Amino acid sequence: MVLLSAIALHRVAYGLLLISAFSFGLASVLIAIGIMVVSAAGWLQRIPTGSVVARALPVFSAATITIIGIVLVVQAVGNGII
């Protein structure tokens, strides 16, 4: 869509620059997330398997994702998007 808009406005170089910047930013974020996951895996292996933290961590992460989803839906409904 960006490149088509840039072509229609006769600013192809600017559209390519925008797409390149977006792609570089996306790649950087994905690399950072991958590094964090690898680092967290080593850290999480040090937690004893039978501990309360190890048992509660999946429930806590699922609850966090659910709450974030609910907040996003409430904001979307409040702004008239949905």
- Structural domain total, the chain: 2
User: What is the reported pLDDT for 53?
Assistant: 78
Same domain, 24 and 38: yes
- Give CA separation, 61 vs 2, 27, 38, 64, 68, in Å: 35, 25, 17, 5, 11
Expressed as residue numbers, the domain containing 82 is 49-82
Distance CA 31, CA 37 (A): 10
On whether both 56 and 38 belong to a single domain, the answer is no
Whether residue 1 is found in the same domain as residue 30: yes
| 35 and 5, same domain (yes or no) | yes
* pLDDT, tens only, 4-57: 888 888 988 998 999 999 999 999 999 999 999 998 888 877 877 777 877 888
Q: For residues 35 and 74, state if they share a domain.
A: no
Residue 59 has pLDDT above 90, yes or no: yes
- On the question of pLDDT at 62 being above 90, the answer is yes
